[in-house]
Amino acid sequence: MQLYEQTLSRRALDARVGMLSQVAGVQLYTLGDGVERGVRCLEFRTGSGLVFTVLVDRAMDIARCEYRGASIGWHSPAGFRHPGLHEYEGEQGLAWLRSLSGLIVTAGLDHTLFMDAQAAEHFHYSPRKHVASSLHGRIGTIPARLTGYGERWDGDECVLWAEGIIQQSTVFGEDLYLRRRIEAVVGGHTISLHDEVVNHGFYRTPHMFLYHINVGYPVLDEGSEYVAPIVETPWAAHDAALRAQGVGYRTQPAPRHDFHEQVYEHTMRADAQGIVPVMLCNRGFDAGRGLGVLIETRKSEFPCMFEWQALQEGHYAIGIEPSTHHVLGKPFAQSRDEAIWLEHGESRRYHTRLSVLPDIEAIDRQRDRIRAIAAQPSDEYVSTTANWEPIGGAR
């Protein structure tokens, strides 16, 4: 393994530390104050300077993330709120925003995007006429059943890991399981997320899935750049007034007073291995040493990608959002025969990597890689096309 700019065998490391926890590891603890009281957490330390916290009681999402003291993930004013305080149906479906915080917030499992109500004949229960879904679904505020965590050696490489099962289930309705595994290599700069969504029940059930990957200051700052293999942009929430706030999609400004969120859906091209890399980088960080984040997803798993700009004072974040569906949601998917349905025992798997780019050299390597896949539009105010790429539905 590479640790502190040394190449060490397992034996060599064992000779230097009484326990791995001296330099790296996974530790379970519970938050004890305010709206976060009672939330179980797993803290990962890779020994490279990468530290991140998994919220066991909030779908095993990732909250805090730092690299050598510099924050990577976004902390909203809502905090890492205990799920027992969450009111799913509150505020006409917008109560999810009172629990939105952290580097990764999962949306789904049967609904993402804005509020919606769908007929519920597939659940064969006459009192349940409709399934009403609030913003981004239920999964992100459900506690996990923690099935294990720790360290695994493979020769001289050590992998830190955690696993859990999050159940979104009801009587006469959906019974979906999210089986999540998180890994990070000791000495590394990368978080690997492996998810499987399974229909544990016996009703044919819809499935939608999305990650809110929220990057904040100092990776996000004035002059930070969004770099992605964009082929075209079919949609922007502010399409009627792209220039009204003076902020384009690519170069990010300092925090703005009373800024209204901007959201895009971009069509991305994958590389030869089917991977879509998206980067946010701050080349000016730390007197020009640079700091960035790279998100890698599989086009076959997440065919859609959104960019969320929440650039107002006190809420300053960029969301990189891979999705199974287009931004117009469930009715749009149904109209195009792109809705996903899972029968009993059927599943979908998702594999995502988040890597810290610690310097200009790493940033430039990824920029060159992305540009070789597709040259993204140079115009900050990218023209929308309303050309929706076909995606697979039930299969």
Task: Report pLDDT digits (tens) over 188-219.
Answer: 999 999 999 999 999 999 999 999 999 999 99
Q: Domain residues for 131?
A: 2-373
Number of structural domains the chain divides into: 1
Rounded-to-integer distance, Cα 156 and Cα 371, Å: 35
Give this prediction's pTM: 0.97
pLDDT, residue 393, reads 55
Please report whether residue 393 resides in a domain.
no
Residue 365 lies in a domain: yes
Residue 391 lies in a domain: no
The domain that holds 72 is classified in CATH as 2.70.98.10
Q: How far apart are the C-alpha atoms of 339 and 349, rounded to whole Å?
A: 16
CB atoms within 10 A of CB 120: 19
Q: Does residue 385 lie in a domain region? A: no
What is the mean pLDDT of the segment spanning 10-18? 96
389, part of any domain: no
Looking at the domain assignment, is residue 378 inside a domain?
A: no
81 domain residue, yes or no: yes
Q: What is the pLDDT of residue 392?
A: 79
CB–CB of 351/322 below 8 Å? no
Under the banding of pLDDT at 50, 70 and 90, the label for residue 88 is confident
DSSP state of 19: S
- 208-251 residue pLDDT tens: 999 999 999 999 999 999 999 999 999 999 999 999 999 999 99
Residues forming a β-bridge with 340: 207
pLDDT tens for residues 303-361? 999 999 999 999 999 999 999 999 999 999 999 999 999 999 999 999 999 999 999 99
Task: Name 326's Cβ contacts closer than 8 Å, sequence gap at least 6.
Answer: 234, 235, 265, 304, 332, 333, 338, 388, 391
The answer as to whether 245 is a domain residue is: yes
